[in-house]
Each structure stands twice: as structure tokens, then as C-alpha cells.
Amino acid sequence: MNKPRGKKIDVVSAVTVALIIAAVLAPMPIAGQTYLIQVLVLILIFATLAQAWNLLAGYAGQPSLGHAALFGSGAYTLALLTFYVDFFRYNPWPAIFIGGFIASMVGLAVGALCFRLRGPYFALATLAITEVIRLIVANTDFTQGALGVTVPTPPKVETPLFTIDFAEKLPYYYIALAIMLVSAYVVYAVSKSRYGLMLQSIRDDEDATASLGVNTFRLKMMAMFISAFMAGAAGALYAVFISYIDPSLDPGGVLTLFTSIDPILMTIIGGVGTIIGPIIGAAIKVGLGEYLRVTFGWKAGLDLVVFGAIFMVIFFVARRGIWGVVKTVTREGWGPVKADLLKLLGR
Amino acid sequence: MTLLEVKELSKHFGGVVALDGVNIKVDKGELVGIIGPNGAGKTTLYNCVTGFYPPTSGRVFFDGKDVTGLPSHRLCRMGMARTFQIPRPFMSMTLLENVMVGALGVGMSLREAREKAKEIVSFLKLEEQANKPISKLNFNYRRRCELARALATNPKLLMLDETFAGLNPSEIDEMVKLVRKIHESGVTIMLTEHVMKVVMSLAERIVVLHQGRVIVEGSPKEVVNDSRVVEAYLGQRIFV
């Protein structure tokens, strides 16, 4: 019983290492193709954001609709630091951590208010707070209001051995990859720690968890702190990568509902409560989105229609998310998946 | 020595008086049964004592301290564990993981929790089910899992809420044995039940609740023969 289990873990870690190496080498054959690398960077940034949502919602069962507030806090922290402080104009990289930290503070404030609520009430409260934050940012001079903030391109780093030019996309790829891998590892570590089981039990039944001595509020705040840090760091990197952020309602705006919904879509498509799920989901959401935009761009909105149709199919066929289905099938065979489908067909 | 003391506890839900000045004392090492017909206030009493509802008035003392209104996780860490009338297992976990949450909740490390959970699982004869997902196990095992989970918190007082309801006769026999075993290991037990037979064989002392009040208190024999208890369960005698 124990032996095959040990073997299985080895296979998983071998595959993981292989995937990381592949991710590190991936840009080589497409080094010149700026657009492709840009898409890859966005996938990695959103995979981090999705992973953040996954920790709070997938593991701890708190369905936040406010991750845009955290992503936006990080983005605005970096943008405003480069705007007001000379040091960060020449070296914005420490601001990624500061962005994560400020987002954590915002997250704790949101949590202190919203964790008193459950389920859909929690979700709607986080949504409301996000919109309030967006409106404050849009109407405050300090944050440049509706004008938005332009982030200058970080200067070249020159060493005797190599030169890193941030006017190119490739350096961002590696920074985004590092942040994404660290965030995935953090979620993995939390899920395997003593807090992992308690977060999961909060998701299953919060009252019963509290009756067993778990301070559920504190644990939810802890999950929020980590989740918000990851979302904030992703947002900060996004700001310096895109080099302009504003509080508009457009799909690209960092504080919009789109930014809150995207990580949810990604995580659900990929597999809620799994480490790989959000990464797969981000790749599909961003990658497929770009592909469709190019292919169906000749008619306004057509790409989104096709996009929606594809998502519906994924939801129907893979109710546990793509990675969730893979996991279920390897562990229990096709039975549960078939049962899901039959249920959907009304059997 | 008194472990739990409930003093003049009342709970109102709007105009409904669920508990009306209840006084109960439980000594260390006792096995007390709380009985009463449906709606007598047994579960409300549990919810008020274990920190799920704030009582409208009255006080609760546990282990010499005033614990009125403390949240349930703090009460649990002080040694008060409860089970639910309808089992509330953590559905995405195995039985063993369910039990581990109890041990983690009171501050054990992951390794300690696993050891503790294994110990309790074998104490309650659940080894065969331990690694199965709780969603695949039947009602009887979910019940016992609740019991195991509560025990994993190292309770001084174990409050069982209708632990025998919904079990078949042989499962009830087994559960009675388990509860006795737990009591013999030194845990004070308070249990509610509306099946009289089970309580009579288990409890040393019985408290009868009716319409939110304690109407009778005494040994099983005294309680059974009390006309007020018969009335509460069967209604008033009518002479035609």
C-alpha cells in the first residue's frame, strides 16, 4: 500500500521539476517574438492572482469577489512609489514586496469587516468594498484620480557579465515566473501544513470547526494576509510591466470587477483547491482569450461570444475543473466524472 | 467538585422562550442525562452553554470560571467538547483527517495530531474506516467520527447531543458501550436523549427539561416514576 504511494509522489515531483525547467527554457525558441512573450508574462501574473484567490476561496472556502482591490493595491503602491519617490523610479523592484505588504494590510481590513459574513454575503461585501476603493482612487488627487499613473520603464541593469534591458519583455518573464512559482509553493506548503486541514475544515463547516477549538476568524485572516500579499505582488508587477494603470471601469482596469472575476474563472476552469489548477486556468483564459481575439477580431465582440461558449462547454464537461478531473480520474477512474455528466443530463 | 454550573440560564428567540431560568450542575466524573420531549430546549441549552448562542440572561461556569458568552473555540480549548445532533463531518476529508482537526484545533502539531487521531480511532474501533473519505461512510460511522473528533480535543466535559438518534438497535448497543468506555477513561459526560431506555441504562443522574424548564432531577428510577415526567411525555391524564 505504501510503496506505490511513494512512487507516485516521485512521479509528481519529477513532472514538476520537468515543467519548471520547461518554463525556464520556454522563451528561448520564441525570444524575438515580443507578443508571445507578453502573453506568457500575463499568464504568469494572472496565474499568481488566481493562486491567491485559490488559497482564500479554494482552500479556506471564502469566495472573495474583491481580489481586484488587492491586485489594485499592489499595482497602485508600486505606481505611486515610482511617481513620488526617486529611489523607486530607478529601482522599482523592492516596491513589488511593498505592494504585496500594502495589499495584505488592505486585505486584513477587508477581512476584519467581511469575515463576519458567510458565503454569498461575504462575496458581495468584498465586491462592495472593492468598488468603494476604486471610487476613492478615482477621485483622489494623491492617486492622480482618473488620469491614472504612468510607471517609467526601469533602467537597464548592466554588469560585466550580462545586461538586463527592461525595455524588452523577457526579463519580466523570469520575474513573473519566479513570483508565480513562489506563490504556488506557498499555497502548497500551507495546504500541507497544520493550517491546511483547518482551512479545509472551515470550508466544509465553519461552526463545527470552531467547536473543535479552532479560532476560525484568525485562521481566515491568516489566509487573507497570504492571499493578499500574493495578489498585491502580482498587481505591482503588472503595473511596472504594463507601465500604466488607472481606476477606469474598462476591462483592463486594475480595480474593476473584471480583475476580480478573472482569477475566479481561471481557478474554476483549472480546478479549485488544487495547486496546478489556477496555472492551467490562467494559461487557458489568457492564452485562449488572445488567440480568439486575433482570430475573431474582425467582428466586435465575436471573440467573447466564442469564449463564453467554450467556457460553458468546459463547465459542463469538467465540473471539477480540468486538473480536478485529471486528479479524480487517476485516483478513482472515470466513474465520478461520468456520474457528474449523467447528473447534468438529468439522469 | 463541580465542573459545569448553569445558573438561571434563559434564552429567548423573539417572543419564544426556549430556556426559562435553567439551573444545572454537573460534577467531575459524572454521567448526566438531559431528557425531555422534542422542543423542550435541550439543543438550545447546548448551544448556549457551548458558545453558539449568547444567552439572554443567566450565567455559565466551567471549571470554576465564568464562561458566559465565550466563543466556542475558547470553550473547547478549556476542555468543553460537543457533538451535533445531526452529524456535521468535514465532507472533503477522510475520517482520520476529521479527527485530526480536533487535535489540531487545540494546538497540536501535525505529527502529534496524527498520532492522537490514530489513538482515538482505535479506541473507538474505527481503524478499518480511518482512511476512507467520510462522504463514503454511513450515518453510524459519521456519528462515531463526531465522537472521535470531539475526543481528540482532550475534553474534560463531553457534551453529546442525541448521539443515539437514527441508529439501529445493534448500533445503539455499540454506541452505549463506547460512551461507557469514554466515561470510564475519566471524561465527564453530559448527554441529551429523547429515547428514555438508553438514558436509563447509561446515566447516573437525569435532568428532565420541559418547555424550557427543569421539571425534575434525580436518579433514573426516581425520574421514571415521577408523575410530572409522565405528564410531560404522555400528556395529562384525562378521566372520562
- Mind listing the pLDDT tens digit for each residue in A258-283? 999 999 999 999 999 899 999 999 99
Per-residue pLDDT band at A3 (split at 50, 70, 90): very low
Residues from chain A contacting residue B70 (CB–CB below 8 Å): none
Task: Tell me if chain B has a CB within 8 Å of the CB of A216.
Answer: yes
Strands B31-35 and B205-210: parallel
Chain B interface test: which of A1, A116, A199, A201 (most B C-beta within 10 Å): A201
| Interchain CB contact of B150 with A (< 8 Å) | yes
CB contacts of B71 in chain A (<8 Å) are 210, 215
Torsion, Cα A332 A335 A339 A342, to 10 degrees, reads 150
Residue A9 has pLDDT above 70, yes or no: no
Mean pLDDT, all residues of chain A: 90
What amino acid occupies position A198? M
Identity of the residue in B73, B110, B150 whose CB atom sits nearest the CB atom of A215: B73
Q: Which residues of A touch B113 (CB under 8 A)?
A: 194
Residue B106 contacts A where some CB pair is shorter than 8 Å = yes
Smallest CA-to-CA distance from B149 within B126, B169, B172 is with B126
Say which of B84, B90, B106 has its CB closest to residue A201.
B90
Q: Is B206 helix (H, G, I), strand (E, B) or coil?
A: strand
Separation of alpha carbons B23 and B20, rounded Å: 9
Rounded Cα gap, residues B75 and B234, in angstroms: 36
Contact check, Cβ <8 Å, B113/A194: yes
User: Which pLDDT score, from 0 to 100, does residue A182 have?
Assistant: 96
Give the per-residue pLDDT at B237: 63
Per-residue confidence (pLDDT) for residue A7, from 0 to 100: 57
Distance (Å, whole) CA B185 – CA B203: 16
The ipTM, to two decimals, is 0.89
Distance, CA of A79 to CA of A252 (rounded, Å): 16
Verify whether the Cβ–Cβ distance B105 to A193 is below 8 Å. no
pLDDT at B18: 92
SS in 3 state form for B13-72?
A: ECCEEEEEEEEEEEECCCEEEEECCCCCCHHHHHHHHCCCCCCCEEEEEECCEECCCCCH
Nearest CA in chain B to A205: B90
A211 to chain B: which residues are within 8 Å by CB? Answer: 50, 52, 72-73, 76, 81-82, 84
Does any CB of chain B come closer than 8 Å to the CB of residue A140? no
Is some CB atom of chain A closer than 8 A to the CB atom of B102?
A: yes
Q: Do B101 and A203 touch (CB under 8 A)?
A: no
Among A121-130, A300-309, B230-239, the range scoring the smallest mean pLDDT is: B230-239
pLDDT digits (tens, 9 = 90+) for B12-71: 998 899 999 999 999 999 999 998 888 888 999 999 999 999 999 999 999 999 999 899
Nearest CA-CA distance, residue A209 and chain B, Å? 8
pLDDT over 70 (residue A164): yes
Q: Give the minimum alpha-carbon distance from B195 to chain A in angstroms, rounded to a whole number.
A: 25
Span B1-79+156-240 CATH architecture? 3-Layer(aba) Sandwich (3.40)
* SS3 at position B136: helix
Nearest alpha-carbon partner for B146 in B170, B165, B163, B122: B163
Q: Which of B49, B83, B90 to mutate to test the interface with A (most CBs of A within 10 A)?
A: B90
Higher pLDDT, A240 or B220: A240
Q: Is A221 on the interface with B (CB under 8 A)?
A: no
- How far apart CA A137 and CA B110 sit, in angstroms, is 44
* CB-based contacts of A313, cutoff 8 Å, min separation 6: none
Q: Does A201 touch chain B (CB under 8 A)?
A: yes
Does residue A2 surpass a pLDDT of 50?
A: no
Higher pLDDT, B198 or A197: A197
Express as a percent the part of chain A with pLDDT over 90: 65
Q: To the nearest whole angstrom, how far is the Cα of B83 from the nearest Cα of chain A?
A: 8
Q: Do B101 and A193 touch (CB under 8 A)?
A: no
Contact A200 B77 (CB under 8 A): no
User: How many Cβ pairs within 8 Å bridge chains A and B?
Assistant: 79
Which pLDDT score is estimated for A158? 84
DSSP-derived secondary structure for A71-129: HHHHHHHHHHHHHH-HHHHH--THHHHHHHHHHHHHHHHHHHHHTTS-HHHHHHHHHHH
Q: Of the candidates A171, A230, A214, which has an alpha carbon nearest to the alpha carbon of residue A51? A: A230
pLDDT at A1: 42
Residue A12: pLDDT band with limits 50, 70, 90: confident
Q: List, for chain B, all residue ranges whose pLDDT scores fall below the cut of 50.
A: none
Q: What is the pLDDT of residue B236?
A: 66
Q: What number of helices (H) and strands (E) belong to chain A? A: 16, 4
Contacts of A215 in chain B (CB under 8 A): 71, 73
- Best to test chain A binding among B47, B52, B73 (most A CBs inside 10 Å): B73
